[in-house]
Structure formats: C-alpha cells, structure tokens
Amino acid sequence: MDPKQFLLDFHDRMVPLLDVYEQSIYLYIIRMSRLIGQDDVVIGFKSARKQLAFGVGKANTPPSERICYDKVRSLESKGFVKVLGSEWKGMRISPLLPSEIPSLAPEDVIAQFVALEDMDFFENPENRMFIREREKNLCFYCQTQLNDSNYVIEHVVSRPEGNNSYSNLVAACRTCNNRKGDIDAKDFMRTLYREGVLSQEDLKDRMSHIELLLDGELKPNVANTYEAPVGQ
Ligand SMILES: [Zn+2]
C-alpha cells in the first residue's frame, strides 16, 4: 500500500462516513495488517482497546470491549472491513483500503459507468451484440437459430416512435424482419402461430417475452452499467 495515498483517501473519503470509534478501530486494524504487509489480523479487543484511543466514551477511558466489537460489525456493514471469523485470540479481520471500496470510488471512475437506459443498442455495433446474446442467438419471433449472415437488430416499435433502447430492440432473422415491417409484434407472432411456425406453447412463451421486453425487464448483460434509479 502507498501510505501517503492511503492517508489522503482516508481523510478525504472515509472519515466523513465514520464515527470516531470506527476511525480509530479502522486505523488500528490497518496498522496491524496492511501497513506491515499482511492481508488480515487477529485482534482481541479485551487488550487491544487500550491501544485505540481514550475519551471517546467515558472520559479518559478506552472504549469497552463490547463497543469495539460492535464498531467492527458496523465497519463491516459499511464495507470497510471483512470479518473472517472468531478465533480464541480474537476476531480475524481483513480491512479494505479506500481504493478497494467501490462505494468510495472517485467520481471520474463512477462517470465511466453509464445508465443502461441511456445506451443506444442500434447504432453502436458492440452494443448490438448484447441484444443478440440476450436472445441466446435465436430469432426473437420465430426462434430460428441466428448466424452472422441472417441476423438483424430489429425495432419492435418502428422508428420514429420506437427508440434504440434495449426495451425496443430484439435480434431477429432476416425473414421475420422483412415480414414484420410495421405490424404489431404480437399480431406478427399470432401470424407465425397460424402458419405453424410457432406452437401454441411457443406463442404463449413469446407473448410473455414481448411483455417483459416492453416493460424493460429483458436487460442485456452489459458490464459497466448501473440501473438508473426509478423515476429518473
Ligand atoms: Zn425469425
């Protein structure tokens, strides 16, 4: 670890999220592990509490043993340490450095993450692949196996009304794409059923998938995205 960077990160990013007990315990854990090249450390707070700080609770006394264990659990719930187990000498604890805690990532790192809802899955060739993968390489409508020469990304609701979001795009075979045109997706699938392309079971399955799709439930598996909070 880089001690200078650690102290800067600790004060700038962690301290505002920790009470004074948590700060002193966290620093002690770091002192006994990462600062001396170990990933974790066993700490018995019956004695270690005397090396933390005094006056944080009752004036001029160290924190009680119980408070120490409570605060370790609270550090754990904040994602700053991992409790690996209890041993006869105490608690085995593995701390995380601020740089290892995702919720403390600098804002420019967070900015690289884009909202799934804002991604264009039509114009961007890489993003098109995510739609094909989501369909497990089968035509969304007729369930034909797709390959590089017969597949297209198709708008369920045609443009200009329909957009390029994952909830309006499917991977389809060229035949379905040509035939469907501006026809409503459900009507088109009923046609496929009448023609015997889809069984009754297939039709039921496809109908439920189109509902899920339009509701935004069929999310492609894209790394580096977050789900936009509801209402934004
Ligand atoms: Zn098809």
The stretch 70-96 carries a mean pLDDT of 94
Q: How far is the centre of ligand 1, averaged over its atoms, from the C-alpha of 108 (Å)?
A: 42
What pLDDT score was predicted for residue 229?
A: 47
Mean pLDDT lowest for which of 25-39, 44-58, 76-90, 170-184?
A: 44-58
- For residue 48, what are the CA distances in angstroms to 6, 75, 77, 119? 23, 17, 21, 51
What pTM was computed for the model?
Answer: 0.52
Q: How far is the centre of ligand 1, averaged over its atoms, from the C-alpha of 7 (Å)?
A: 59
Q: How far is the centre of ligand 1, averaged over its atoms, from the C-alpha of 136 (Å)?
A: 13
Q: How far is the centre of ligand 1, averaged over its atoms, from the C-alpha of 215 (Å)?
A: 22
Q: How far is the centre of ligand 1, averaged over its atoms, from the C-alpha of 172 (Å)?
A: 5
φ, ψ of residue 111 in degrees (nearest 5): -65, -20
Q: Which residue has the higher pLDDT, 35 or 230?
A: 35
Summarised one tens digit per residue, pLDDT across range 140-154 is 999 999 999 999 999
Q: How far is the centre of ligand 1, averaged over its atoms, from the C-alpha of 220 (Å)?
A: 19
Measuring CA to CA, which residue among 121, 43, 130, 122 is closest to residue 88?
43
Q: How far is the centre of ligand 1, averaged over its atoms, from the C-alpha of 124 (Å)?
A: 22
Q: How far is the centre of ligand 1, averaged over its atoms, from the C-alpha of 132 (Å)?
A: 13
Measuring CA to CA, which residue among 219, 212, 178, 213 is closest to residue 188?
178
Q: How far is the centre of ligand 1, averaged over its atoms, from the C-alpha of 210 (Å)?
A: 14
Burial, 157: exposed, middle or buried (Cβ in 10 Å; 0-12, 13-18, 19+)?
Answer: middle
What pLDDT score was predicted for residue 13?
A: 84
Q: How far is the centre of ligand 1, averaged over its atoms, from the C-alpha of 175 (Å)?
A: 6
Question: Under a CB-based contact definition with an 8 Å cutoff, are residues 169 and 129 in contact?
Answer: no
Q: What percent of the chain has pLDDT over 70?
A: 90
- Joined together, the tokens standing for residue 11 give 């004060």
Q: Residue 42: how many CA atoms within 13 Å on its side-chain side?
A: 6
Q: Which residue has the higher pLDDT, 229 or 157?
A: 157
